[in-house]
Amino acid sequence: MTTLTDMTEAHTEVLTSYPPSADFAAAANATAALYDEAEADRLAFWAEQAHRLSWDTPFTEVLDWSQAPFAKWFVGGKLNVAYNCVDRHVEAGNGDRVAIHWEGEPVGDSRVLTYAQLKDEVCKAANALTELGLVAGDRVAIYMPMVPEAIVAMLACARLGVMHSVVFAGFSATALRARIEDAEAKLVITTDGQYRRGNAVSLKEAVDEAVKGQDCVQHVLVVRRTGIDVDWTDGRDLWWHEKVDAASTEHTPEAFDAEQPLFLLYTSGTTGKPKGIIHTSGGYLTQASYTHFNVFDIKTDTDIYWCTADIGWVTGHTYIVYGPLSNGATQVVYEGTPASPDEHRHFQVIEKYGVTIYYTAPTLIRTFMKWGREIAFAHDLSSLRLLGSVGEPINPEAWRWYRLVFGADATPIVDTWWQTETGAAMISPLPGVTDCKPGSAMRPLPGISAKIVDDDGNELQPSSDHGEHLTGYLVLDKPWPSMLRGIWGDPERFKETYWARFAEQGWYFAGDGARYGSDGEVWVLGRIDDVMNIAGHRISTAEVESALVGHAGVAEAAVVGASDDTTGQAICAFVILKAHHAEMSNEQMVDELRAEVAREISPIAKPREIHVVPELPKTRSGKIMRRLLRDVAEGRELGDTSTLVDPTVFEAIRAGKS
Ligand code: WT7
C-alpha cells in the first residue's frame, strides 16, 4: 500500500491557472449557473438532466436510496437506451448526420455511418440476436477490436435489454474465459482477427480456447475483419455477414425499466478475481449524456469529436458509445495504435476529419512528448478547440505540453476524474467556466458531491500555498445517477469494497488519495489500495502475483507499481524461485515469467522488471510490505523497516536487483 505520507512527499503544486478565453466562455454549453441550479435542489437538477432523454414512461421518483448502498434512480421510468442513442436522432430529421467516421488501422480503410445507417445496422443486429434466442436479462460477451460492428453489437444488446460484457481484445483467452464464465454469457461476438501495428493477427482463436467446454455459450458470432483463416465449429459459430446482414432493418424498441441492467464491465480490484461492475439504464445514460454535453461542450452541428479510448474500457462505453450517441454527436472512431504506420497517425486523423475535440490519456500525451513536438507541428491542428485527459493524474508538464502543442496554447483542457464504478465523469472542469490548474481535475461537476477526508472521516482543509499539504481519502458522499449498482454475483464484495470503509457516514470509498489545493480544488494523487495504473489500465498486484505463482518454478511473488515516466506506473515483480528450477538460468526464467503473465492476463500486464530474490520483506503477521518493495524499485532510501521480521532481507533483495 502507498501510504498517504508517501503521496504527500511526492507532490508539489504548480500555481498558475488557465481561464477559458472570453469567446469560449460566451459560447459554452455550461455556465456557472449549472452549479447554482444543482446546489439549489440536487434531485430536481438530476430530474432535469434526465429529461434530456426520451422516456417512454415518465419516472415518478428521482432517487430511492432506502436500500443503500443499492440505489434506484428515476423510479418507475421506462426508456430504451438504443432508441435514445440512435432512433430519436433519425426521427428528429438528423438521419443524414454522420454518427461515426471510422478510420481503420490500414491507411485508406475507412467507413462512414450516418445515424440512419447506424439505426439500420442496430436493428438488424437486434433481430439477429433475437433469432439466436437472446432475451432481456441475458449476457453477451463482446471481444472485438475497434470496428463499427462492436458499437452496433453493444447498441443491439442495449436495445433488447440484454447485458453486454465487453472484454478488451488485448486480454488473453484465460482472462476472457473467466469473464464469460462469471457472467454465464450465452453468446460471444468477436472478429476473425485484428490489426496490430500493421499485421493481421487472430482473435477468434482466443475465443475458441475460452469457450471450450463452457456450457453456457451457445453461439459465437464472428465479424470478418481481416480475412485470416479461422477454425469453425458448425452449429456454434456463425458469420455476422450471413446472420446479421440477412436480418430485417425493422425493429420496434421495447421500453425497459430505468433500472434494467445495461452492461457488465470487469475491472481489477485488490484481489486476483476481477469484479463485474453492474451499470443500469436510466441513471447511467442520464449522467453519460449530461457530462458529455457539458464537459465536452458538444455542438452537434459543427463538432467532430474523437475519444481515443478502446470500447474494452469504461471510457469507450461512456464517451464513445453512450455519451456521444445519446447527444447525436459526430465522432471519429480509430481502430489502430497511435504509431501505425508511423508516429504521425493521430495528427493525420485530426487533420483529415477536422477534429475539434480530442480526449485521450496522459500516458499517450507523454509518448507524444517523447516523439517530439516536430511531429505534431508538421500538421494543421487548428480545428482543435477543446482537449480532454483521463485515466490517471496528468503531470503539469504534460498538461502544458498538451495545451501548447495540440491546443496552440489556447484551448481549455478538461482533466476528468472518474472510474469504471462511477460510470461517468465526476470531478472535472467545465471548459467555459473553470480556471484550470495543470494537474488538477478541479471540482466535482454540478450535481456531484465529493470530499477529501482523513481516517476518521473529517474533511481536510484546503492546503496553503507554502505550508504542509495534507493528503486524505477521496470519497463520494452523495449517490449519483451513473453509480455502479453492484458487483455481479457478489453483493457482499460490493458492500465491503466501496461502502465499508466509511460505513457510518454512508460514503463511497473511491480508493484514491487526494488533497485540496489552495482554492479548494481537488488534486487526485493515485490509488491507495493494491491497484496499479499502467498506462491508464487498471491491474491489481494480486492478479499479477497469482499469474506468477501459477508458474511451477515460482515459490512466492510480490508485485508493486513503481513510477514510470511514460506509463505513470510500471509493474515490478519480486519472485522467489523454487529450488528445483535450477536447470534454467535466472534470465531464462524471467523471460518465461513475463510470457506467462502475458498469457494469463494480457501483454499490458507484463512486468517491466522481474527480480529474483531470496526472500520477501514481511511483517510479523506475514503481510508483504509492498511499500518497502516500492522504495527498492524506485531506488529510494528505505522507509520505516521496524515492523519487519528480518530487516536484513533488503541487503539480499538489493543484491538480487542489481
Ligand atoms: C482510476 C479508475 C475513468 C476511466 C478510465 C479509468 C484513476 C482516472 C483520473 C484523473 C487522476 C485518475 C484513478 C481512478 N484516474 N482518471 N483524471 N486524474 N486519476 O477507469 O480503470 O476504473 O480506473 O483511474 O486512480 O480511481 P478505471
Q: Is residue 652 in some structural domain?
A: yes
Secondary element (H or E) of residue 525? strand 522-527
Q: 295: CA distance to ligand 1 center in Å?
A: 16
Tell whether 565 and 494 lie within a shared domain: no
For ligand 1, say whether the CB of 516 is within 6 Å of any of its atoms. Answer: no
The CATH number covering residue 591 comes to 3.30.300.30
409: left (phi over 0), alpha (psi -120 to 50) or beta: left
Overall average pLDDT of the 367-396 stretch = 96
- pLDDT value of residue 226: 97
pLDDT at 466: 55
482 with 591, same domain? no
Which pairing describes strands 568-577 and 554-564: parallel, antiparallel, or unpaired? antiparallel
- Report residue 487 as a C-alpha cell: 458487483
- Strands, DSSP E only, in 12-52? none
Is residue 403 one of the residues assigned to a domain? yes
> Does pLDDT of 498 surpass 70?
yes
Number of domains in the chain: 2
Q: Which of 524, 529, 531 to mutate to test the pocket of ligand 1 (most atoms within 8 A of CB)?
A: 524
Q: How far is the CA of 474 from the centre of ligand 1 (A)?
A: 12
Going by C-alpha positions, the residue among 43, 125, 146 that lies closest to residue 82 is 125
Whether residues 108 and 157 fall in one domain: yes
- Is the preceding omega at residue 341 within 30 degrees of 0, hence cis? yes
All cell numbers assigned to 469: 499539504
Inside any domain, residue 510 = no
Residues 473 and 570 in one domain: no
Strands 450-453 and 413-416: unpaired
CA distance 434 to 414: 9
Task: Give the pLDDT band of residue 214 (cuts 50, 70, 90).
Answer: very high
Over residues 433-462, mean pLDDT: 96
463 in any annotated domain:
yes
> What number of other Cβ atoms are within 10 A of residue 249's Cβ?
13
pLDDT of 546: 86
d(CA 575, CA 518): 43
Residue 429, classified by CB atoms within 10 Å of its CB into exposed (0-12), middle (13-18) or buried (19+), is buried
**CATH number of the domain to which 442 belongs:** 3.40.50.12780
Q: Tell me the pLDDT tens digit for each residue of 217-272.
A: 999 999 999 999 999 999 999 999 999 999 999 999 999 999 999 999 999 887 77
239 annotated ligand binder: no
Cell numbers 455511418 correspond to what residue? 113
Domain end: 456, 476, 498, which one? 498
pLDDT given at position 644 = 67
Question: How close are the terminal C-alpha atoms of the chain, in Å?
Answer: 24
Q: Do 485 and 548 reside in the same domain of the chain?
A: no
Determine, yes or no, domain membership for 92.
Answer: yes
Nearest residue (by CA) to ligand 1, atom 10, is: 417
Q: Tell me whether residue 231 is in a domain.
A: yes
Is 518 domain-assigned?
Answer: no
Has 533 been labeled as part of a binding site? no
Q: What is the pLDDT of residues 64-113, one digit of tens each?
A: 999 999 999 999 999 999 999 999 999 999 999 999 999 999 999 999 99
Give the model's pLDDT for residue 622.
73
Identify whether the C-beta of residue 423 lies closer than 8 Å to the C-beta of residue 484: yes
Compute the residue count for the chain. Answer: 658
| CA 491 to ligand 1 centroid distance, Å | 23
What local confidence, expressed as pLDDT, does residue 358 receive? Answer: 98
Tell which of 441, 475, 498 closes a domain. 498
Both 231 and 357 in one domain: the answer is: yes
| 224 marked among binding-site residues | no
Q: Is the pLDDT of residue 506 over 90?
A: yes
Contact between 428 and 448 under an 8 Å Cβ cutoff? The reply is no
Q: Which atom of ligand 1 is nearest to the CA of 425?
A: 3
Task: Looking at the structure, tell me whether residues 546 and 494 fall in a common domain.
Answer: no
419 is in an annotated binding site: yes
pLDDT of residue 657: 62
Indicate the residue among 475, 498, 521 that finishes a domain. Answer: 498
Classify 402 as helix, strand or coil: helix
- 158 contacts: CB under 8 Å, gap ≥ 6: 80, 81, 82, 85, 164, 262, 263, 281
C-alpha cell read off for 532: 496499479
Q: Please state, in angstroms and rounded to a whole number, the distance separating the CA atoms of residues 223 and 110.
A: 16
- pLDDT tens across 579-620, in order? 776 678 889 999 999 999 999 999 999 999 999 988 888 877
Task: Give residue 14's pLDDT.
Answer: 47
The three-state secondary structure class of 80 is: coil
The protein residue with its alpha carbon nearest to ligand 1, atom 14, reads 419
Q: What is the pTM of this model?
A: 0.91
Question: Which of 168, 176, 177, 166 lies closest to 215 in space, CA to CA?
Answer: 177
Is 220 within the bounds of a domain?
A: yes
Check if the beta carbon of residue 645 is closer than 8 Å to that of residue 619.
yes
Residues 447 and 547 in one domain: no
Instruction: Specify whether the CB–CB gap between 262 and 280 falls below 8 A.
Output: yes
Per the structure block, which three cell numbers stand in for 348? 493525420
> Ligand 1 centre and the CA of 421: distance in Å?
10
Residue 465 has pLDDT above 70, yes or no: no
| Domain that includes residue 570, residue range | 531-657
Residue 45 and residue 446 in contact, taking contact as beta carbons nearer than 8 Å: yes
Please indicate whether residue 428, judged by its CB atom, sits closer than 6 Å to ligand 1. no
Q: Is residue 314 within 6 Å of ligand 1 at its C-beta?
A: yes
Same domain, 212 and 126: yes
Looking at ligand 1, which residue's alpha carbon is closest to its atom 18?
A: 393
What span, in angstroms and rounded, lies between the C-alpha atoms of 310 and 316? Answer: 5
CA distances from 585 to 235, 547, 550, 593 (A): 48, 20, 19, 12
- Asked if pLDDT for residue 483 goes beyond 70, the answer is yes
Does 95 share its domain with 240? yes
Ordered alpha helix ranges (H), 97-227: 115-131, 148-160, 173-183, 204-211
**Both 350 and 225 in a single domain?**
yes
Are 588 and 471 contained in the same domain?
A: no
Give the other-Cβ count within 10 Å of 270's Cβ. Answer: 16
Q: Could you check whether the bond before residue 69 is cis, i.e. omega within 30 degrees of 0?
A: yes
Across the range 17-27, mean pLDDT stands at: 97
